[in-house]
Chain A
Amino acid sequence: EDQVTQSPEALRLQEGESSSLNCSYTVSGLRGLFWYRQDPGKGPEFLFTLYSAGEEKEKERLKATLTKKESFLHITAPKPEDSATYLCAVPSIIQGAQKLVFGQGTRLTINP
């Protein structure tokens, strides 16, 4: 069974304090790993897709990396507006149906 585990569950940082969020995964065959950002009361916003170990993607203060077992979302010099829940997910084929297996998310708070 494909699984995704995210850590930490919650993270509080001061503005400008860089850190990383972890997403560990076990899949029968990797069809991509997705990162989303979700703000309270909104649907998840697509951030990145990673397909192979060693791949990196960047967007503003965020950089996502991928190894064969885990992915990291690095946040450099974060600002309060980066506060959100960050979700990672892998696509899985279960009984012929396509689904996303999500981690529980990391709730990130950036204090000014």
Chain B
Amino acid sequence: GAVVSQHPSRVICKSGTSVKIECRSLDFQATTMFWYRQFPKQSLMLMATSNEGSKATYEQGVEKDKFLINHASLTLSTLTVTSAHPEDSSFYICSAGRVTYEQYFGPGTRLTVT
């Protein structure tokens, strides 16, 4: 299967600071990359979809000025949580998509905002 990495795996930050999460597709060039958020014992919630070189498409209710997504290449996407607050604490997961619609997920990033 395809390999997707995420960095960092865990991050603790203070309220008001910004945090950047990197997502890399290690063995294939992803046509599209996706960012999800997952609350305990709940299913994945899609936050945004990004294509290389173009602006991300955000799901309804997701603040694009708070969750900045950059998709600089076919193998790298970043999510920056700006001015983080405790309610942004969550498990963030990225995925890389193939033309066959399959998505391969990263290991996730646990964000804790204190």
B-contacting residues of A (Cβ < 8 Å)? 31-32, 34, 36, 41-46, 49, 87, 91, 97-100, 102-105
Contacts and interface: CB of A to CB of B under 8 A. Distances in A.
Chief secondary structure at chain B's binding surface = strand
Given A41-B110, A43-B108, A99 B102 contact: no
A60 to B, nearest CB: 14
B107 A42 contact: yes
Contacts of B97: 98
B44 A41 contact: no
A104 B43 contact: yes
B43 A102 contact: yes
23 contacts: A32-B100, A32-B101, A36-B105, A41-B91, A42-B107, A42-B108, A43-B4, A43-B6, A43-B93, A43-B95, A43-B107, A44-B93, A45-B1, A46-B104, A49-B100, A49-B102, A97-B49, A98-B101, A99-B46, A99-B49, A100-B46, A104-B43, A105-B43
Which of B4, B43, B104: most chain A Cβ within 10 A? Answer: B43
A44 B100 contact: no
Contacts of B108: 41-43
A46 B107 contact: no
Interface in B42-82: 43-44, 46, 49, 57
A100 B1 CA distance: 18
Contacts of A31: 101
